[in-house]
C-alpha cells in the first residue's frame, strides 16, 4: 500500500482538547530533481543543477522504512559548483535529525539515487489561531477562520509529550472546504513526520 493510501485510511481520532494551534505558513515555491550523494542523521549532500545559496530551506523527499516518501526539512549550508559536470553539490542540515528508523529507510537505497526537492520559503504571516478537530499518527484536521491552498506547508504548534511547551510540527495541506453551517474552513493535512504513539496520546 502506498504512503498516500496509508494516510487516507489512517484512523482519525476526535480531539476534544479546546486548545488552539498557532500556525505559520510555509510556501512551496517549486520542485526540482536531485541525487542523494551522502546522507547522515544530521545532514544530506545533494547533486543538482540548481545552485542554492546558503540559508535556502528545502523539503527533501526521503523514504521511510516502508518505502514511503516524506519531506524532510533542511537548510542549505554550502554549495559548490562542478563546472566540469555542469552541476553542483549542495550540503544541507536537517531541521530535526533523522531518527534511526528514518536513517535506515533513507540509506536503504544506497547512494546516488534520484529524489525530489521542494524549495521552501517561510512567510511569517501569522500567527493565526486554529482548533484541532481530529488527529491521527499521520494527519490532522483543523478548523480555521481562513482557507489555505492545498499543497501549502503549515507549522502547527502542538503540546509536547512533557506538556511544558508547544512543539512546532510541519504539515502539508491536502484539502480545504468551507463549513456548511458556519463561516469557518475545515482543513486537512498530513504530517511531514508522523506522530509517535506517545505524542498522539497527549492530544487525545
Total domains in the fold of the chain: 2
Strand 43-48, strand 57-63: pairing:
unpaired
Q: How far is 170 from 72, CA to CA, in rounded Å?
A: 10
Give the model confidence (pLDDT) of 8-50 as tens digits.
446 767 665 555 567 777 778 889 999 999 999 999 999 999 8
Are 85 and 110 contained in the same domain?
A: yes
Are 14 and 53 contained in the same domain?
A: no
Are 82 and 68 contained in the same domain?
A: yes
For the chain, give the longest Cα–Cα distance.
62
Tell me what pLDDT residue 8 has.
46
Q: Give the domain range for residue 69.
A: 28-120
Q: Hunting for cell 498530513 — which residue is that? A: 190
Are 43 and 113 contained in the same domain?
A: yes
pTM for this entry: 0.61
Per the CB < 8 A criterion, the answer to whether 70 and 193 are in contact is yes
Q: Dig out the grid coordinates for 19 from the structure.
A: 486548545
Higher pLDDT, 54 or 13: 54
Instruction: Say if residue 185's pLDDT is above 80.
Output: yes
Give the model confidence (pLDDT) of 97-126 as tens digits.
888 888 988 888 887 899 999 998 877 777
Q: Dig out the grid coordinates for 172 from the structure.
A: 502539508
Amino acid at each position: 500500500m502506498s504512503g498516500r493510501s496509508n494516510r487516507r485510511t489512517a484512523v482519525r481520532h476526535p480531539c476534544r482538547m479546546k486548545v488552539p494551534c498557532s500556525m505559520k505558513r510555509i510556501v512551496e515555491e517549486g520542485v526540482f530533481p536531485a541525487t542523494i550523494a551522502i546522507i547522515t542523521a544530521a545532514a544530506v549532500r545533494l547533486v543538482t543543477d540548481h545552485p542554492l545559496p546558503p540559508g535556502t530551506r528545502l523539503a527533501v523527499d526521503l523514504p521511510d522504512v516502508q518505502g514511503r516518501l516524506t519531506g524532510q526539512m533542511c537548510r542549505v549550508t554550502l554549495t559548490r559548483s562542478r563546472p566540469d559536470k555542469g552541476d553542483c553539490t549542495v550540503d544541507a542540515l536537517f531541521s530535526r535529525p533523522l531518527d534511526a528508523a528514518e536513517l535506515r529507510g533513507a540509506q536503504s537505497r544506497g547512494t546516488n539515487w534520484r529524489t525530489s526537492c521542494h524549495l521552501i520559503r517561510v512567510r511569517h504571516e501569522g500567527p493565526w489561531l486554529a482548533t484541532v478537530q481530529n488527529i491521527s499518527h499521520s494527519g490532522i484536521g483543523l478548523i480555521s477562520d481562513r482557507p489555505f491552498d492545498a499543497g501549502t506547508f503549515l507549522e502547527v504548534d502542538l503540546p509536547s509529550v512533557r506538556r511544558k511547551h508547544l512543539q512546532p510540527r510541519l504539515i502539508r495541506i491536502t484539502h480545504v472546504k468551507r463549513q456548511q453551517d458556519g463561516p469557518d474552513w475545515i482543513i486537512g493535512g498530513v504530517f511531514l513526520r508522523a506522530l509517535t504513539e506517545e505524542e498522539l496520546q497527549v492530544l487525545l
